[in-house]
């Protein structure tokens, strides 16, 4: 099939062109393959990593560039992204004051354009056998690195995600967090991925492995300036009895494209809280696959999108209950103004032998403009007969009676409106137990809504 378009998004090393050209699918695949061969020839890394890259590229070659004719991508408009001639990642200097700070974090990893920045990072004393650092593979890894790298690209799911495949082929560096059995980190790990713009494509990676009974608190933030494509992949492995609190904040520039993927596997008796917040970007999409791979595994998924202007924020979520007595709770909210768009596409899958499963899924959307639009598609696939599962969705505008109630008590129209929006969105923030992060996000939300500080204090729980 032939199509006329501008040069599609180029991975690192692709020879860039600015002219309009006619592309056939085989030619497109050949161009990516040439770029991939060049990229691979310049790297020295273990054979297992190289084999993983080759498999990822072949998967991308098979999938091709996603289009809106595909069901999984029909609400994701990539037409603007396809007109941009993206440059390969590059080294860049970033002022430390431009990076967010987490007061309680003792371990901090910073990546600029997908590459580790040791001068901006810091690590405190680590328990024996624990590794926190760069994932950049080298021929002689330590035992902890070797054990963790073995887990790379081992999780199921996202096999049909072309940008996850691109990441698997072209990633250069990322964060590696490995906790051995029974290890508990008392302070959070703070990971920052910063893109400097300049029409660059970056492919950050995060690999987190918690062995049996390990515990960690992780904050991952995506920031940047200018226009770029950020296609990150995070892999989270939890052993039996492990506990993870994972927080992801996407606050990139209004011109950025964020097309990320998260894969999570939980063992028996493990517990996870995932808090996903999307505030920036021209287009921000996160595909999340969760496998509850042991009895009594439990996860809480808490998502919030705040969009304005022409922003689009999408979450595609699949939770797979593979064993009995598992539980999952999903609550995804969006606040949309102007012509902003949001998509929630969620699936709860319960396998035939996963009896006594308790799963809930909820999507709630608040529209502040008649031009805003929310698409919600919660779904259930239940193959067991002794379960408690439910889903629901609601979309609407502010309650005029509630607004009138506040106006009648002397609160101005703008502040009354902001208070109601704040109360709706702040429920998602209150679920975050990491106090410094919750307080910073609360202030960020209040600033976004231009909410008076005194009223913000009165609303605090």
Q: Which residues, including other chains, have CB under 8 Å from residue 56's CB and lie 6 or more apart? A: 153, 165, 166, 167, 168, 169
Please state the separation of Cα 380 from the chain's center in Å.
23
Confidence of residue 3 (pLDDT cuts 50, 70, 90): very low
457/460 Cα distance (integer angstroms): 5
Model confidence over 145-179: pLDDT tens digits?
A: 666 666 777 787 888 899 999 999 999 999 999 99
Model confidence over 173-204: pLDDT tens digits?
A: 999 999 999 999 989 999 999 999 899 889 99
pLDDT above 90 covers a percentage of the chain that reads: 67
Query: Does the pLDDT value for residue 64 go beyond 80?
Result: yes
**Of residues 35 and 285, which shows the higher confidence score?**
285
Most confident of 44-53, 99-108, 421-430: 421-430
pLDDT of residue 159: 83
Confidence of residue 455 (pLDDT cuts 50, 70, 90): low
Query: Does the pLDDT value for residue 18 go beyond 60?
Result: no
pLDDT of residue 459: 54
pLDDT of residue 139: 60
What's the average model confidence in pLDDT over 66-72? 90
What's the average model confidence in pLDDT over 79-86? 85
Confidence of residue 15 (pLDDT cuts 50, 70, 90): very low
**Which of 277, 224, 233, 276 has its CA nearest to residue 255?**
224
227/195 Cα distance (integer angstroms): 9
23/45 Cα distance (integer angstroms): 33
pLDDT of residue 441: 94
Parse the chain into domains and list their residue ranges: 400-461
What's the average model confidence in pLDDT over 50-72? 90
Residue 366 structure tokens = 């608040």
pLDDT of residue 6: 38
Alpha-carbon separation of residue 108 from 92, 115, 437 (angstroms): 19, 14, 14
362/321 Cα distance (integer angstroms): 17
Model confidence over 316-343: pLDDT tens digits?
A: 999 999 999 999 999 999 999 999 999 9
- Identify the weakest region by mean pLDDT among 231-240, 322-331, 442-451: 442-451
DSSP tag of 97: G
What's the average model confidence in pLDDT over 289-303? 98
The enclosing H or E element of 166 equals helix 162-170
Q: Name the average pLDDT for the chain.
A: 88
Please state the separation of Cα 138 from the chain's center in Å.
26
What backbone torsions phi and psi does residue 265 show, to the nearest 5 degrees? -125, 130
Query: Does the pLDDT value for residue 387 go beyond 90?
Result: yes
What's the average model confidence in pLDDT over 298-324? 97
**Which of 379, 253, 400 has its CA nearest to residue 316?**
379
pTM for this one? 0.90
pLDDT of residue 216: 97
176/310 Cα distance (integer angstroms): 35
């Amino acid at each position: 099939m032939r199509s006329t378009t501008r040069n599609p998004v180029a991975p690192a090393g692709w020879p860039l062109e600015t002219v309009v050209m006619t592309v056939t699918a085989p030619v497109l695949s050949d161009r990516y393959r040439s770029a991939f061969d060049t990229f691979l020839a310049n790297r020295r890394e273990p054979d297992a990593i190289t084999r993983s890259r080759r498999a990822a590229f072949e998967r991308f070659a098979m999938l091709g560039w996603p289009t809106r004719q595909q069901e999984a991508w029909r609400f994701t408009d990539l037409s603007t992204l396809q007109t941009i001639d993206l440059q390969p990642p590059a080294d860049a200097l970033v002022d430390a004051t431009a990076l967010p700070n987490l007061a309680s974090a003792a371990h901090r990893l910073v990546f600029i354009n997908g590459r580790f920045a040791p001068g901006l990072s810091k690590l405190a004393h680590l328990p024996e056998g624990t590794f926190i650092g760069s994932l950049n593979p080298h021929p002689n890894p330590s035992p902890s690195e070797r054990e963790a790298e073995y887990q790379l690209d081992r999780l199921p799911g996202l096999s049909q995600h072309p940008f996850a495949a691109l990441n698997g082929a072209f990633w250069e560096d990322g964060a590696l967090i490995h906790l051995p059995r029974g290890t508990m980190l008392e302070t959070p790990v703070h990971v920052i991925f910063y893109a400097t713009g300049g029409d660059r494509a970056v492919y950050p990676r995060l690999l987190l492995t918690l062995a049996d009974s390990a515990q960690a608190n992780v904050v991952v933030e995506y920031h940047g300036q200018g226009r770029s494509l950020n296609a990150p992949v995070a892999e989270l492995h939890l052993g039996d009895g492990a506990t993870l609190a994972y927080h992801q904040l996407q606050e990139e520039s209004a011109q950025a494209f964020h097309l990320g993927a998260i894969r999570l596997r939980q063992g028996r008796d493990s517990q996870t809280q995932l808090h996903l917040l999307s505030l920036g970007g021209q287009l921000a999409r996160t595909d999340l696959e969760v496998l509850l791979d042991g009895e009594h595994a439990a996860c809480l998924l808490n998502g919030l999108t705040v969009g304005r202007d022409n922003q689009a924020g999408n979450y595609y979520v699949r939770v797979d209950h593979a064993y009995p007595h598992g539980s999952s709770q999903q609550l995804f909210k969006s606040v949309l103004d102007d012509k902003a768009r949001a998509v929630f596409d969620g699936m709860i899958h319960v396998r035939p032998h996963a009896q006594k499963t308790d799963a809930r899924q909820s999507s709630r959307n608040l529209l502040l403009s008649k031009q805003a639009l929310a698409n919600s598609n919660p779904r259930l696939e239940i193959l067991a007969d002794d379960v408690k599962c439910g889903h629901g969705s609601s979309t609407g505008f502010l309650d005029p009676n509630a607004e009138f109630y506040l106006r009648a008590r002397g609160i101005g129209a703008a502040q009354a409106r902001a208070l109601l929006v704040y109360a709706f969105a702040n429920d998602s923030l209150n679920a975050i137990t990491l106090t410094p992060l919750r307080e910073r996000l609360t202030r960020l939300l209040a600033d976004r809504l231009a909410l008076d500080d005194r009223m913000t204090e009165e609303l605090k729980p």
